[in-house]
């Protein structure tokens, strides 16, 4: 039933985050620090909708948009192609954008048609021009904190005014105003978010989701390490119930 969370799945997703930290030698302490720092920084801005209640309200609004129609929810990954987006628009899909993958809209004959279907952008702050245009257009952001993206988040926050935002982290800690829906990369975290909001896997289409190549809309990255990360992305998506991911 849509709108219901699966506690067993959520527990497994948190376990995978622990396994990823261990595999890469990353610090839980750093993840917690940046998450709490992010919450403090956005609250300091003093915008009326940048509060725990405001972040929750934005989350609920995104959830309502995703659940209100019978059409598919399409998640745009970093390897997304123009034709995939054109097909999604033609089918009337709602779009969740993984960070900078909105850059593909510039390839459309009418970019506004892509933006008109955008429900939210899931970002850890390094999405480049695609992310910047989403900010300019006021698309709701779901901003993620992890142990090594404080600098990227500082830059991102400096570009925002009272843009509707929600906040996520990747720890087992309870942090007021933030959520941990599971996930690792922006793309699989977008899928975790949609599913945590109650969207059935059968209604979700993954566009440009590849574990065998680094997509052209990925942020600046070490290609070798990125491919290692994409293996974990694939594992998470398969845990969610997706099949046939390359």
Three-class SS state of 146: coil
Sheet containing 118-123: order of strands = 178-179, 165-168, 141-144, 118-123, 94-98, 73-76, 204-207
Per-residue pLDDT of the chain (246 residues; tens, 9 = 90+): 344 568 899 999 999 999 999 999 999 999 999 999 999 999 999 998 999 999 999 999 999 999 987 889 999 998 999 999 999 999 999 999 999 899 999 999 999 999 999 999 999 998 888 999 999 999 999 999 999 999 999 999 999 988 999 999 999 999 999 999 999 999 999 999 999 999 999 999 999 988 887 777 776 567 788 899 999 999 999 999 998 888
What is the predicted pLDDT for the residue at 135?
A: 94
CA dihedral sign of residues 151, 141, 127, 239: positive
Question: Tokens 């977008």, residue?
Answer: 190
What is the predicted pLDDT for the residue at 245?
A: 84
Question: Tokens 């574990």, residue?
Answer: 211
Domain boundaries, given as residue ranges, for the chain = 7-240
pTM for this predicted structure: 0.94
């Amino acid at each position: 039933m849509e709108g219901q969370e699966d506690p067993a799945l959520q527990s497994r997703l948190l376990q995978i985050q622990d396994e990823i930290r261990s595999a890469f030698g990353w610090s839980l302490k750093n993840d917690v620090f940046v998450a709490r720092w992010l919450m403090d920084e956005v609250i300091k801005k003093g915008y009326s909708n940048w509060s725990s209640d405001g972040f929750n309200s934005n989350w609920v609004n995104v959830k309502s948009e995703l659940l209100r129609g019978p059409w598919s929810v399409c998640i745009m990954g970093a390897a997304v192609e123009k034709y995939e987006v054109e097909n999604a628009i033609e089918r009337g899909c709602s779009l969740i954008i993984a960070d900078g993958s909105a850059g593909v809209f510039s390839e459309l004959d009418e970019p506004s048609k892509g933006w008109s279907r955008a429900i939210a952008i899931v970002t850890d702050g390094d999405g480049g021009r695609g992310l910047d245009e989403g900010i300019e257009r006021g698309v709701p952001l779901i901003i993620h904190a992890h142990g090594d993206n404080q600098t990227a988040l500082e830059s991102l926050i400096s570009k925002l005014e009272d843009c509707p935002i929600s906040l996520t982290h990747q720890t087992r800690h309870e942090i007021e105003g933030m959520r941990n829906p599971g996930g690792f990369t922006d793309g699989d975290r977008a899928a975790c978010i949609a599913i945590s909001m109650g969207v059935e896997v059968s209604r979700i289409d993954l566009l440009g989701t590849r574990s065998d190549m680094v997509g052209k809309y990925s942020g600046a990255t070490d290609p070798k390490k990125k491919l290692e990360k994409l293996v974990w992305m694939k594992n998470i998506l398969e845990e969610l119930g997706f099949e046939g991911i390359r």
